[in-house]
Amino acid sequence: MTVTCSEHPASLQGRPAMRRKVADAAALAAGYVALAMIAVPTIWVVAGVLQRAVPGWSWGVLTHTGAAGAGGLENEILGSLVLTAGTLVLAGGVGVLAGIYLAEYATGPAGAVLRGASEVLAGIPSIVLGYVGYLALVVALHWSFSLAAGLVTLAVMTVPYVMKSTEVALRQVPSAYREGAEALGFSPLQALRRISLRTALPGIVTGILVALAISVGETAPLLYTAGFTSANPSAALVHRPIAFLTYAIWTFYNQPSKSAVQLSFDAALILLVIVLLLIVVGRVIVSLSERHAETR
Amino acid sequence: MQRVTGGVAVIPMLALLFIIAVLLAQAWPAILLNGGGFFTHTSFDLGNTYGAIVNTHGVRHPQGASYGVLGWALGTVESSAIALVLAVPVSVFAALAISERLPAYLGRVVGLFLGTLAGIPSVIIGLWGALTIGPLLAHRVYPLLAHLAPKVPVLSFFTGGTGNGQGLLTSGIVLGVMIIPIVASTTRDLVHSVPKLPKEGGEALGMTDWEVARRVTLRWVGPGIVGASVLGLARALGETMAVAMVSGVVLSGSPGSIFAPITTIAATIVTQLDSAFTDTSGFAVSSLAEAGLVLVLITLAVNVAGRLLVRRVASTALPVGRGV
C-alpha cells in the first residue's frame, strides 16, 4: 500500500522514513524493558526471601513462641491472624456499609466530599496513623499497647479500600437488574440485598481481601499501637500488647545473631505466603465471576 | 438503610479530621517554641533530659532542646524525586505496551505482577533493599557511576564515597520500585480509556505505532498521566518502613552526594519515637508531631492535586492508596 504524504500532520512531513521506523522500534524496545523492570524486582524480592528463609527453615517456628530473636514465631503468627480477623470485621463492616451508601444513596456534592475524604485518608502516611493511634488510643484513652489500639488504627487505614471496591462493584451492577427487581415488586431494600449485593459480591470480597493483605503486611501503624509481647494473644482487648509478624522482620533483620536474622526471614516468608494467598484468591474470584458473567 | 449507611460513610471523613486535629493539638507547643527555625535548620537534639525541665513562653522542655526539619524534608523530597524519575518512564512505556501491544492474556499476567508488587509489604521490600539490592549497587554500580561523573558543579553530586548502599540513591531506587504499581496501573487504565477512533485515524494517516501513542494516546490522557505520577509521588513521600531500612537515617543535615545516607520525615518519626519518649516534658514527642504535621500537609496537597488531575481525564481510573 502506498500512502501519499500530503495528508500527514505538518510536523511529520519530511521526516525520513528510516528515522520514524527506528523511533518506533526503540519505543517498542522501551516497552519491553519497562515490562521487565516490573517483573524482575517482583520476582527478585520474592526469590530473595525464599533463598534466605528456606535453607534454615524449621517447622518449629510455627509452634514455639519467642522474643528478642530467639525461639519461634507462634506469638507473631497468631497475633497477625487475630489482628487481620479483627480488621475483617471492623474495616469490612464499616467499608461495605459506607460503600453501599456511596453507590446507592449519595447524590451530588455530599457523595463527592465523602468519597474524596476516604480517598485522601488512604493517602495519609502509615506512620502518621500509627503516631496518632499512639497519642489518641494508647495514651489519651489509656488503652496501653493493645489489640484494640492496633485494630482501630489498621481499620482506619484499610476502610477506604473496602469502601472504594464496594462502591465500584455496586455501580457495575446493570441497571436492568434493579429495574427488573422493581418490576417484580421488590422493595428497595430487598432489591439491594437479593439482587445488587449478590451480583456485586465478588468485587466486594476481592476488595476486602486486598484490605486484609495490606493490613497483615503493615508495620508502621502497629509499632506504637499494638506493641509487642512474647506471649500468645489473649482475649483482652486493652492493656495487653499483641505480637505481629512484621515486628519480627523489622526488629530482627539487622541483629548480630544468626538465629535472629533467620527468624526475620522466616517471618517474611510466612507473611509473603499469606499476602500472596490473599491476592491470588482475590484474582481467582474476579476471573471466575467474569467467566460466570459472560456465560450468563 | 440510607440513614445507617450514611452514618457509617461519614466515618472516614471524621477519622481524617480527627487525625489532623490530634496532630495539630499535639504539635502546638512545638510550633510555638520551635518557631520558624523549625523549617530553616536541621536538628534532632532532645536537650539535657537529665536536667531540670525549663519553661519558655509557657512550653515545658529540657534545656537545650532543638529541632529542625529542613534536612529531613529535603531527604524526603529528593528521594521521592529520584523515585519519580525512575518510575514514570517505566510506567508509561509499560502501560502503552500492555494496552497497545500485548495480547489480553499477557496484559493480565503483567497486571498480576503489578498487583503482587503493590501487595508486597513495605518491610519486605525494605529487606530486599537493605540486604540485597543496596549492597549490590554499592559494590558494583555506584563506584562506576561515581567514577564516570565529572567533577563539575551539579554533576559532582554524583561523585564521592559510595558507602555501603544505605543512602539517597538506594532510597530513591527502592521507592521507585514501590510506586511503579500505582503509577503504571493508573496509566494503563487511562490509556485503556482512550477511544479507538482517533487512534485508527492516526494509523490511517500512516503514523507508526509510536507516533500514534505519542501524538494521539498520550496527548489524550496527558494530564491524567501527570496526575498518576503525582499520586505516586504522594505515596513515595509518605513511605516509611522501606526507607527507614535503606536510607541510613542520618538525622543531621542534607547529603553532599547522591550516595550519602539521608533520612526522611517518615523514617525519622518511626525510628526516633522511642528516644523521644525519654523526654519526660513531652516536647520531643510534640516536635515529632510537628514533623508529622508537615508530612501530612505535603502529602495531602500532593494527593489532592493528583486526584484532581486524574479525574479531569477519567474518573474510572482513580486508584485508592497503593493502587492494588
| Facing residue for A32 by CB, picked from B12, B97, B285 | B97
Q: Residue B89: what are its φ and ψ, rounded to 5°? A: -60, -45
How many domains are contained in chain B? 2
B123 in contact with A at a CB cutoff of 8 Å?
A: yes
- Say yes or no: B61 and B124 in one domain: no
Select from B282, B284, B322, B272 the least CA-distant residue to B72: B272
| Averaged pLDDT of chain A | 87
On whether residue B167 sits in a domain, the answer given is yes
**What pLDDT shows up at residue A13?**
56
Distance between CA B46 and CA A130 in Å, rounded? 22
Number of helices (H), then strands (E), belonging to chain B: the values are 14, 4
**What pLDDT shows up at residue B17?**
94
- Say yes or no: A132 and A184 in one domain: yes
On whether residue B324 sits in a domain, the answer given is no
- Say yes or no: A30 and A87 in one domain: no
Cα distance from N-terminal residue to C-terminal residue, chain A: 43
**What pLDDT shows up at residue A1?**
40
Distances (CA, A) of A3 to A6, A23, A24, A174, B298: 9, 19, 18, 45, 52
Chain B residues inside the 8 Å CB shell of A98:
5, 8-9, 11-12
- Say yes or no: A44 and A174 in one domain: no
A219 contacts B300? CB cut-off 8 A: no
Instruction: Give A213's Cβ-side CA count (13 Å radius).
Output: 30
- Say yes or no: A270 and A191 in one domain: yes
Tell me the count of A-B CB pairs closer than 8 A.
Answer: 286
Distance between CA A93 and CA A159 in Å, rounded? 9
On whether residue B210 sits in a domain, the answer given is yes
Distances (CA, A) of A191 to A96, A106, A188, A198: 17, 17, 5, 10
| Facing residue for A105 by CB, picked from B6, B22, B215 | B6
**What pLDDT shows up at residue A158?**
92
- Say yes or no: B59 and B207 in one domain: no
Which residues, other chains included, contact A83 with Cβ-Cβ below 8 Å and sequence gap of 6+? A147, A150, A151, A154, A215, A216, A222, A226, A242, A244
Range of the domain at A34: 16-53
- Say yes or no: B13 and B95 in one domain: no
- Say yes or no: A78 and A191 in one domain: yes
Q: How many whole angstroms from its chain centre is CA A193?
A: 26
**What pLDDT shows up at residue A232?**
81
Q: What is the ipTM score, two decimals? A: 0.89
Chain B residues inside the 8 Å CB shell of A124:
16, 19, 238, 296, 299-300
**What pLDDT shows up at residue A7?**
46
- The CA distance from B208 to the nearest CA of chain A, in Å, is 6
- Say yes or no: B236 and B296 in one domain: yes
- Say yes or no: B41 and B87 in one domain: no
A204 in contact with B at a CB cutoff of 8 Å?
A: no
Q: List, for chain A, all residue ranges whose pLDDT scores fall below the cut of 70.
A: 1-15, 293-296
- Say yes or no: A161 and A46 in one domain: no
Tens of pLDDT along B138-173? 888 888 888 887 777 677 777 777 777 888 999 999
| Facing residue for B208 by CB, picked from A20, A129, A188 | A20
- Say yes or no: A47 and A64 in one domain: no
- Say yes or no: B165 and B270 in one domain: yes
On whether residue A31 sits in a domain, the answer given is yes
On whether residue B322 sits in a domain, the answer given is no
CA torsion, points A224, A226, A231, A233, in degrees to nearest 10? 180
On whether residue B242 sits in a domain, the answer given is yes
- Say yes or no: B38 and B85 in one domain: no
How many domains are contained in chain A? 2
Domain holding A116: CATH number?
1.10.3720.10
Tens of pLDDT along A56-113? 888 888 878 877 777 778 888 999 999 999 999 999 999 999 999 999 888 788 888 9
Range of the domain at B29: 2-67
CA closest to B185 among chain A residues:
A38
| Averaged pLDDT of chain B | 86
A281 in contact with B at a CB cutoff of 8 Å?
A: no
B121 contacts A218? CB cut-off 8 A: yes
- Say yes or no: B115 and B170 in one domain: yes
- Say yes or no: B60 and B162 in one domain: no
- The CA distance from A79 to the nearest CA of chain B, in Å, is 17
- The CA distance from A226 to the nearest CA of chain B, in Å, is 14
- Say yes or no: B163 and B57 in one domain: no
Distance between CA B128 and CA A49 in Å, rounded? 8
Domain holding B126: CATH number?
1.10.3720.10
- Say yes or no: B23 and B106 in one domain: no
- Given B25, B43, B67, which residue is the final one in a domain? B67
On whether residue A172 sits in a domain, the answer given is yes
Q: Residue A70: what are its φ and ψ, rounded to 5°? A: -135, 165
On whether residue B96 sits in a domain, the answer given is yes
On whether residue A5 sits in a domain, the answer given is no
- Say yes or no: A43 and A112 in one domain: no
- Say yes or no: A64 and A168 in one domain: yes
On whether residue A11 sits in a domain, the answer given is no
Specify the 3-state DSSP secondary structure of B153: coil
- Say yes or no: B32 and B13 in one domain: yes
Chain A residues inside the 8 Å CB shell of B273:
131, 134, 223-224
Chain A residues inside the 8 Å CB shell of B210:
23-24, 26-28
- Say yes or no: A26 and A82 in one domain: no
Note which residues in 53-92 of chain A have CB less than 8 A from chain B. none
A116 contacts B131? CB cut-off 8 A: no
- Given B22, B40, B67, which residue is the final one in a domain? B67
Which residues, other chains included, contact A251 with Cβ-Cβ below 8 Å and sequence gap of 6+? A69, A228, A264
On whether residue B250 sits in a domain, the answer given is yes
Predicted confidence pLDDT, tens digits, chain B (324 residues): 778 888 888 999 999 999 999 999 998 888 888 877 788 888 887 877 777 777 777 777 787 778 888 889 998 999 999 999 999 999 999 999 988 888 888 888 998 899 899 989 999 999 999 999 988 988 888 888 888 877 776 777 777 777 778 889 999 999 999 999 999 998 998 898 888 899 889 889 988 888 888 889 988 888 888 888 988 998 899 899 999 999 888 887 677 788 888 889 999 999 988 888 888 888 888 899 999 999 999 998 998 888 888 887 776 656 666 655
